[in-house]
Structure 1
């Protein structure tokens, strides 16, 4: 029996935003752990996959641009890139006229691993979130977008 069935919602009982927050955090941890396990089977960590998937969308980024896209420091990206270069998945290419920065590109092996990681993530999403019906998914997306906007507003206050 689900939690919802065990405790029917009462119109008199207000939904507690803090309880929703904790459920969301626990769900986030569960989803992250599940995806991490699938990526681990490919020999990747989540941060490494984030780099590969970002570069699969837009190659030629500098480490600084990549760090900004991933919301991490340039130092964090530097170590990740070093490991991905050593693994033969990413290469640094000189940028003409800029001796300090390099453009980041996937190697053919990196592109293949990124593709497998994206497929694994898509399969997980299909097995979980993808099982919501269209109306539920639309509502969920609207709420997530609204929450994101509230968070952005709060961060800029």
Structure 2
């Protein structure tokens, strides 16, 4: 039985990841945003403000490449770049309202495919999926909390 469960999980993860990423990629193209820009904005969305030096570490690239990307994103009204109080050489990055909205839209775009598939199913199937997902979450949540 473990082989069957494993195969179904592989299929589930493969299909949902592909569809979610396709939806996300469409969202990026529709909004003229590169994956690298979205990566930076997502870091800022979860971290809050961040200095350029730290961002270069998070993005695993050099500071000059991050600075060039930041320049473009400031011009697109996606980010703000401000001096760090007490250190004129350092710059701190913040999302603009537009940048925050784009990140939130990107998160939503990843989920919309799954929601639309579920919405097309009969109510009884939706209930079965819900119950299976609740069980799945309970099993895997309890396993991760025991470590």
TM tier relative to shorter chain: 0.5 to 0.7
Question: How far apart are residue 96 of structure 1 and its match?
Answer: 1.6
Q: Do the aligned partners of residues 91 and 31 (structure 1) sit closer, same or farther apart at CA in structure 2, a change above 3 Å counting?
A: same
The alignment partner of 1:44 has SS state of coil
Matched, 1:49 2:38: yes
Q: 2 CA distance for matches of 1:95 and 1:10?
A: 54
More helix by share: 2
Runs of at least 5 residues in structure 1 that lack an aligned partner in the other structure? 1-8, 146-157
Q: Are the counterparts in 1 of residues 82 and 93 from structure 2 also a CA contact under 8 Å?
A: yes
Q: Are the counterparts in 2 of residues 63 and 78 from structure 1 also a CA contact under 8 Å?
A: yes
Question: How far apart are residue 45 of structure 1 and its match?
Answer: 1.9
Choose from 46, 62, 73 the match for 1:74: 62
Structure with more relative contact order (C-alpha pairs < 8 Å, separation 6 or more): 2
Q: 2 CA distance for matches of 1:51 and 1:125?
A: 25
Partner of 1:136: 136
Runs of at least 5 residues in structure 2 that lack an aligned partner in the other structure? 118-128
1:67-106 to 2 correspondences below 5 Å = 67-70=56-59, 72-75=60-63, 76-106=65-95
Aligned length: 131
Q: 2 CA distance for matches of 1:116 and 1:135?
A: 29
